[in-house]
Structure 1
Amino acid sequence: MTSLKLSRLLKYSLIGSAAIGTAVSLHGNQYQLNSIGIVRLSRAAVTVFQIGVIYKKDLYGKGLDKNSQEYKELKSICHKRSAEKLLELCCTNKGTYIKVGQHLAALDYLLPSEYVQTMKVLHSHAPTNPIEDVYKVIREDLKKDPFEIFQTIEPEPLGTASLAQVHKATLTDGTVVAVKVQHPYIQGNARVDLKTMEYLVKIMSWVFPEFKFQWLVDETKKNIPQELNFEQEGHNAEKVAKMFEHVEWLKIPKVIWDLTTSRVLTMEFVEGGQVNDLKYINEHGIDPFEVSDKLGKLYSQMIFINGFVHSDPHPGNIFVKRSERGDCDIILLDHGLYANLSDEFRVEYANFWLSILNRDRKAMRLHSANLGIKGDLYGLFACMVTGRTWDTILKGIDQQKQSKSEKELFQREFPNVLPQISGVLDKVNRQMLLIFKTNDLMRGIEHTLKTSARMGAFCVMSQCCVKSVYSERLCKENSKIGKFKIAFAQFWALFKIKLYYSMLSLRQLCKLQILST
């Protein structure tokens, strides 16, 4: 497609949506001209046009052999330039655009590394709104002047996210709290932004037919309304706190409901350091392996047993601190986005993981097909789920630590199959998309903590997978004898897992002793 044709497509899309977008956005943004739909739409359209030109003119227009080193190097340069354009758009339009940018940054291994690395800055350096905007939302939602409610509100936010920012404050009775306040114009922008993204994704699909991005639009349209409702976030926090009330090391800040609305969430203030802050972890005598083990247990339980998964575990949302018991506590923040997994999906995903751990290619193909990925793409799907190469999967990912060379090979080869990856993301069961994001964010934390490929993590995950599969069978069995047989089969499977990983640990310990002598 030529630049001229792309320009015409953009022109027709702009005309088609400008009138409605302008009227809706003007009202929703209280007539703040810089935030109205036509302005935001124009910025996005120009950015997409510029990105299209970068690829068409500076890459595809060169006529280079796609297998040549020169082509690969030039493609990397184009990815980087385009990612920087996209980052600039996200930071300028803010709100929903930052949320999409953060989602892209979480898809490590699944998108070109140039995009992932460039967009990762949005996890910790999202644009901040002035304190006056925070006061404005508090006045509108709580119907009082902020200083009738709070003794103090620190003007510098503790953290800024795509949809809100959090400030430390003190109530009039001296209680220290964290106040999460939504960016003031984001609700007015969200509807127009989502419609704009849908138009632009369609245009990008015409320009690059091998890439399918509709899944990203669909996910954003589904998730943004949930994340914009802070009352729902409060209910999610209470639900997960109840679900894990028996886990003494998991801390969920309590919600203060009389100071909470759909745009203001007030919670107890909890001290701690970000999970990727190695300086804090070392200074407070926290064991990184303990942190990884506890996170592994938590997320295995969420995914395979409960089917209610905190789906935004980037480092800014997970804090750690040394407890009075002498071990470490995990503090889980930002409960706006949860994946609700159906029992059918949860069991299929558990079976798929067991087939990977058992290196059973026939079972991998079967359960991959049940999750929406049919045919020979099951191998690529397994690589995307695990973040490991196919050779490592066949050798046993629970026995092979990820080496530097494997990671480099993974990152080098995956760009060559991006159209196939795009196809997988387009076809896979929709519930899988948030799991991809969650898996990649968790792998990123483990990489930072240098605790990847722990056998303990695979053992816990295997046990949770087995419990998920056999619990489903127990629910469907009516006879007492049948239930007894299934319960015994589960006991035996769990026993074999424990024995297997105990033997692996012993073998690894013997190797270390031999090497040290």
Structure 2
Amino acid sequence: MLLKNLKIARTGLRWNSSGVQASRSKARASPLTGHYVGFGLLAVTMTGLVYNDDMRQRTVETFLIAERVGVVAIATARCFAMYLKTLNREYDTKEEYYQALSKTHKQAAETTLQALRKNGGIYIKLGQHVSAMSYLLPPEWTNTMVPLQSECPESSLEEIKEMFEHDMNISLDDYFLDFEPKPIGVASLAQVHIATLRENGQKVAVKLQHPSLERFVPLDVELTAMVFNAMKKVFPEYPLTWLSDELRQSIFVELDFRNEAENAKITADYFKDYKSLTALRIPNVHAAKRRILVMEYVSGTRLDDLEYLDKHNISRSDVSSCLSHIFNNMIFQAGFVHCDPHHGNLAIRALPKKKNGHNFEIILYDHGLYRKIPSQMKVDYARFWLAMIERKPDQMQKYGKKFSKIEDESLFPVLAAALTGRDFEHALSGNIATPRSEKEIEVMKRALTDEGVLLDLMALLASVPRIVLLILKTNDLTRHLDEALQNPLGLERTFFIMATYCARAVYADDTARLREKWSIFSVHRLVGSVTALWNLYSRIFLLTLYDVVFYLRELL
């Protein structure tokens, strides 16, 4: 605006004859007056910048904000131009169109990647979110964003010390006996250092939010929303506003580490009774502030480090089973779900002797993002999976639509494929217990280049409730982990474990409905209770039988 005003003023002096003449006639009396005024203003401004910290800080922040806005605006304009050029061209063959669209996806993703790297912060978080949606978005986008999983900028020790003293009212050196200056992990929102408490000598992990986020997150959230709203206007067929909506809803919750401390405690208390099924370990929290979290230090190795598992004689199928119990329990029983279970938030460590039937512990970190699943949605989701496993297409469609709140029947095949991570043929037939073949993977990749499928997918993602998107994300991430483990028992056992939780959720709902509708002495209630019990235990019996067969197969 300042440059624009200067340009207008300059133009006015040059071309407005009467104004110029008047100005010049006055200027002849003292030709250097204007220069003196200009130099005076410049001197006052520079003096303010040198001696006024607040003014200097505001000026620096203004330039930084302008730079961030510029990065986003330029990247957005370039991507728009790429897609408009590709989509408005005419092609001789469908294959030529697919190739052009794939190339554009790749170019746009690379342009976006550079912008996300440049701005950092929640833009890195957004890129990580995209990279995790490999079953939902074109591979050109998801694969390009993968480097962001391990390329997060590190905050300086000076910034960390200043923030710590401000938030904790005590210096870093007075609080800790020892503090490792190099973080053991750096994420998009925070970094983690190892330290030793001065009060008792306990070794702890200290999670510290990047101080710069305090200034830029509100702006970045609005910028992201503006970009996706602009995309919706230019490309109404490809609505992506759900991404910015989810970011707006979740980011401020994640940035308050007191929420994370509470979630960790709730989850740890809940899973105390399920150690034999889950082998789950959640670090205890020592202290929590809005931007600082001090917790028990529990080290581990990546869950998919197969060499480590084999070296310590840890059963891959046992690890897979525990993972399945953890997240299916969260979804179908607790209804309180960890929504970011990627490789960096899960670890495994070997135990010198067995504990709760396992020679390992699965460590779950980063409890900043949890969601509660509404009771009816949880039951409808369970009924959908039971219908899928029992291959009942009509029931699948009925409960899939109820669970996801979609009204357009044409979107159901896309929903089934997104939930299962399988192609349409396998998803709609319920044939999902076998591993994906290379051919199926290729079919799925090609499907995401088909304009009709892509339009349906975008419509689906834009219409389902936000909690459904997070469940889809959790499904994708846990499926990736399970595949990375190369479980010798295959996917069948994973689905059987899930089916057990689904059966129990449905049984609880059936009996609750009977209690509401009929008195305790009613024949209808008695018959309904027996039927519900039979459905539950017949399913559990079959699942237990399959489990025994798989166990014996692993031994042999």
TM-score, with structure 2 as normaliser: 0.82
- TM-aligned CA deviation for residue 284 of structure 1: 2.6
Q: Which has the higher contact order (CA 8 A, sep 6+)?
A: 1
Tell me if structure 1 keeps the 8 A contact 2:102–2:449: no
Is 2:300 the partner of 1:272?
A: yes
State yes or no: 1:105 paired with 2:131: yes
CA distance, structure 2, for counterparts of residue 35 and residue 220 of structure 1: 25
More divergent stretch after superposition (305-314 vs 453-462): 453-462
Post-superposition offset of 1:94: 1.3
C-alpha change, 1:498 and 1:30, in structure 2 (3 Å) is farther
- Counterpart of 1:446? 482
Which residue of 366, 384, 392 maps to 2:418?
384
| CA drift at 1:386 | 0.4
* TM value normalised by structure 1: 0.87
Cα separation, 2, equivalents of 1:434 and 1:215: 11
Distance 1:285 1:170 in 2: 32
Structural mapping, 1:72-221, within 5 Å? 72-172=98-198, 173-221=200-248
| 2:342 pairs with 1:314 | yes
Match of 2:361, SS? strand
Determine whether 1:412 maps to 2:442. no
1:194 match: secondary structure: helix
1:372 maps to which residue? 405
- Aligned-residue offset at 1:429: 2.4
- How much has 1:282 moved relative to structure 2? 2.8
Secondary structure of the equivalent of 1:320? strand
Count of aligned pairs between the two proteins: 484
**What is the CA distance between 1:399 and its match in structure 2?**
4.0
Percent of counterpart pairs with the same letter? 32
Out of 492, 496, 515, which is 2:538 matched to?
Answer: 496
1:95 touches 1:186 (CA, 8 Å); kept in 2?
yes
Distance 1:123 1:243, change over 3 A: same
Greater shift after overlay, 307-316 or 475-484? 475-484
The answer for the alignment partner of 1:54 in structure 2 is 82
Between stretches 369-378 and 182-191, larger displacement belongs to: 369-378
- 1:232 matched to 2:259: yes
Distance 1:227 1:399, change over 3 A: closer
Match of 2:465 among 429, 445, 470: 429
Q: How big is the alpha-carbon RMSD for the aligned residues of Structure 1 and Structure 2?
A: 2.5
Q: CA deviation at 1:66?
A: 6.3
Q: Is the 8 A contact 1:322 1:329 kept in 2?
A: yes
Offset, 1:243 = 1.0
Displacement, 1:360? 1.7
Q: Distance in 2 between matches of 1:351 and 1:321?
A: 35
Query: What is the deviation of 1:65?
Result: 4.2
1:290/1:328 contact within 8 Å kept? no
Report the equivalent of 1:328: 360
Q: 1:428 Cα shift? A: 1.2
Question: Which whole-Å deviations, capped at 9, do the CAs of 1:387-446 have from their partners, x for residues lacking one?
Answer: 012222344335422222222211222331111101001111221010011111111112
- Secondary structure at the aligned position of 2:249 is classed as helix
Return the alpha-carbon distance in structure 1 between the equivalents of residues 429 and 542 of structure 2: 16
Q: Which amino acid aligns with 2:371?
A: A
CA contact (8 A) 1:470 1:487 kept: no
Q: Match of 1:39? A: 67
Q: Give SS of 1:135's match.
A: helix
Query: Quick check: 1:123–1:314 contact (8 Å CA) kept in 2?
Result: no
Alignment partner of 2:509 out of 472, 491, 514: 472
Structure (1 or 2) with the larger CA radius of gyration: 2
Confirm or deny: 8 A CA contact 2:76 2:227 kept in the other structure. Answer: yes
For 2:465 and 2:201, locate their aligned partners in 1 and report how far apart those are by CA, in whole Å: 49
In structure 1, runs of 5+ residues without a counterpart are 1-25
Q: Which runs of 5+ in 2 are unaligned?
A: 1-53
